[in-house]
Structure 1
Amino acid sequence: MTITGSPPTTRPARRVLRTVLLWVLLLPGAAWAVVRFGGWERDSLVQLFAFTPYVAAWAVVPALLAFAARRWLTAAVATVSAALLIVCVLPRSMADHDRGPQTGVTLHVLTGNMYVGHADPATIVRLVRENDVAVLALQEYTGAARTALATAGLDQLLPYSSLALPIGGDENGATGSALYSRYPIVAPGVRHNGGGFQQAYGTIQPPGARPVTFESAHPLAPFAVDVLPKWRSDLQAQPHAEASGPLRVLMGDFNSTLDHRALRTVVSHGYRDAADATGKGLIGTWGPYADPRLPPVTIDHVLVDERIGVADVSVHGLPHSDHRAVLADLRLPNP
């Protein structure tokens, strides 16, 4: 008997389709890994790269699927891509061996963005009181917020301040900045960023410790491609913590994550990110946004001079703000 007919094509076609689908799933993560590892984010990628931790988690999926399908080349590329992203992201969830000196004077500091002055003043004062906060940095600070915070009792807890009210009044409240302290503030001042935001600063000297200059950081947000040069220049203008200079702490809304090269450059100038050092670096501090489908990202930071130790960091809700407050437990060196 002679059997005639065409050879079956269904199975090879399915294999090709599966391979194509795997590469479709893989290639975006692979490109993301290369750009992130090289620090080459540009234009609209700047905003997207704030979500790199989520991409790192997703990048594992194509690798697992490729191994399950026995597509070894695809699996190898997917594994390398996932590994690159995981190396960039995962260490933020693990406490560093080097968190700086763990002896010295204990100082609790807190920072929060008030969302054009709308953040609940009672919550801020409660966080200060319950956590023995000695230095408080606020962004998007307004005249109305100043009055509300005083009414809630902040001035009794932190009587010294360096304040920058919004340029043009409360209707431009995003430009305001504040620094409150339990101890007298020496040489208070205000940095005017090229992007339009202000940064209040001043030097304090807690009993038994060396003087420390604190600054309420607030670079411009990278909300559009045409403002990216100002976003970068605001970050570049942040003061360095030089070994021969004063101790420094920058804390506030940096409008950037550790997946942005511009912020990593700031950290490299003598700082450590307190949340990163204590394994809390993946806790989101901004969000939910107007679009609740977007997950939170970590753009609020406490950057600590490498000569200062970090014992712990925690993140706290701030009602009526789109940010969360960051609390850091520091160890200041003795004179």
Structure 2
Amino acid sequence: MSVLPWGVWALVRLTGAESGFPAVALIAFTPYVAATSVLPVALALLARRGWVALAAAATAVALVGCVLPRGLPGSAPDAGGPRLTVLSANVYFGLADPDALVRLVREHGVEVLSLQELTPQFDDALTRSGLRSHLPYGVTDAATGPVGGAVYSAHPVDEIGGTDRSAYFAMPRARLRVPDAMPVEVVSTHAMPPSDAAAVPAWRDSLRELPDARPNGRVRVLAGDFNATLDHAVFRSLLDTGYSDAAAATGSGWTATWPVDRPLPGTAIDHILVDHRVAVHRTSVHTVPNTDHRAVLAELTLPRA
């Protein structure tokens, strides 16, 4: 067995050279490739091919080094402010089960709900299911198909930063006033899927449109369907502006969020990104009937005002 496929994969991952299709789609499966990278090492050792074994070992170390940190919890900042529980879900053209979603909000004490692919009908269904009794504030931009989005909040919306409908999907923004905390801007995030060669430029543009973190300014939380993993260079560039991935911060960065209903290996493309001043205490994923994405939840501590 040749080490070449693993070596090429490691080179692409390390250099961020996944510029086109299908490389952009395939690079999301890097954790699985890293898990199999010991195979060429073992086979080269059995064949007593020392230099090949050395090259295979170096490749395995590189791949494992890319994916291992997201499975190890990191240190949390001393935020000092109030707790905030955030839930994000892609509701799949508004076909998800509204009662199940509201049940999650109620059971986990969710204070911010970020939704993607919100339709007017699903917004109405959430109201009938009692969402507004838990989250009476927010900003919605419902639309037919996969375009809409929303941020619902238990805390007053002091300032709405606009719905920022891009050329692709709505990405509503809400500036929340949480008692004893700095103002928090929450963005319901939905990037284009890199489903074919023609879609890759739009996917990249939609991620680059997202607001950078402002480590010394407004506290931001981006929550939604990024259609990207920690192995995509453009996603890592966004993190480098000052965000932390909540799941990776708690050692749960390998947990898959998509797809739920297809015979494919799972990938983590739904995220909650937080300003580095925000502490992440716990994250989890939850299955909501009738959608192909799992909902992601994060319990945060905000910086004190």
Question: Shorter-normalised TM-score: what interval?
Answer: over 0.9
Q: Deviations over 1:157-196 (max 9, x none)?
A: 0001200011xxx2xx2001010000111222211223x1
Give secondary structure in 1 for the equivalent of 2:223.
Answer: strand
Selected match of 2:17 from 30, 36, 40: 40
**What is the rounded CA distance, in whole Å, between the counterparts of 1:101 and 1:113 in structure 2?**
31
Question: What amino acid sits opposite 2:155 in the alignment?
Answer: Y
Q: Deviations over 1:25-52 (max 9, x none)?
A: x211110001101111121200001111
Question: What amino acid sits opposite 1:308 in the alignment?
Answer: V
Q: Tell me if the contact between 1:110 and 1:325 (Cα under 8 Å) persists in the aligned partners.
A: yes
Measured after TM superposition, the shift of residue 104 of structure 1 is 2.2
Partner of 2:257: 285
Instruction: Considering fraction of residues, name the structure with more helix.
Output: 1
Question: What amino acid sits opposite 2:33 in the alignment?
Answer: V
Selected match of 1:256 from 222, 228, 247: 228
TM-score normalised by L of structure 1: 0.88
Partner of 2:300: 330
**What is the rounded CA distance, in whole Å, between the counterparts of 1:52 and 1:212 in structure 2?**
33
Partner of 1:106: 83
Is 1:200 aligned to 2:172, yes or no? Answer: yes
Q: Which runs of 4+ in 1 moved over 3 A?
A: none
Give secondary structure in 2 for the equivalent of 1:234.
Answer: helix
**What is the rounded CA distance, in whole Å, between the counterparts of 1:35 and 1:268 in structure 2?**
19
Q: Tell me if the contact between 2:85 and 2:109 (Cα under 8 Å) persists in the aligned partners.
A: yes
Partner of 1:148: 125
Selected match of 2:66 from 84, 88, 97: 88
| Root mean square deviation, CA, Å | 1.2
Partner of 2:56: 78
**What is the rounded CA distance, in whole Å, between the counterparts of 1:36 and 1:155 in structure 2?**
44
Larger radius of gyration, structure 1 or 2?
A: 1
Q: How does 1:146-225 map to 2 (within 5 A)?
A: 146-166=123-143, 170=144, 173-188=145-160, 189-194=162-167, 196-225=168-197
Question: What amino acid sits opposite 2:17 in the alignment?
Answer: W
Q: Deviations over 1:76-123 (max 9, x none)?
A: 1111111111000011111012x2225321111000100111111111
Structure 2 vs 1, CA of residues 162 and 154 (structure 1 numbering), >3 Å: closer, same or farther? same
Q: Tell me if the contact between 2:79 and 2:277 (Cα under 8 Å) persists in the aligned partners.
A: no
Give secondary structure in 1 for the equivalent of 2:267.
Answer: coil
Question: What amino acid sits opposite 1:193 in the alignment?
Answer: S
**What is the rounded CA distance, in whole Å, between the counterparts of 1:289 and 1:258 in structure 2?**
22
Question: What amino acid sits opposite 1:129 in the alignment?
Answer: R
Give secondary structure in 1 for the equivalent of 2:172.
Answer: strand
Unaligned runs of 5+ in 1: 1-21
Measured after TM superposition, the shift of residue 68 of structure 1 is 2.4
Measured after TM superposition, the shift of residue 289 of structure 1 is 4.8
Measured after TM superposition, the shift of residue 151 of structure 1 is 1.1
Question: What amino acid sits opposite 2:68 in the alignment?
Answer: L
Unaligned runs of 5+ in 2: none
Q: Deviations over 1:43-84 (max 9, x none)?
A: 120000111111111111111222222221111111111111
Give secondary structure in 2 for the equivalent of 1:50.
Answer: helix
Q: Tell me if the contact between 2:281 and 2:301 (Cα under 8 Å) persists in the aligned partners.
A: yes
Give secondary structure in 2 for the equivalent of 1:175.
Answer: coil
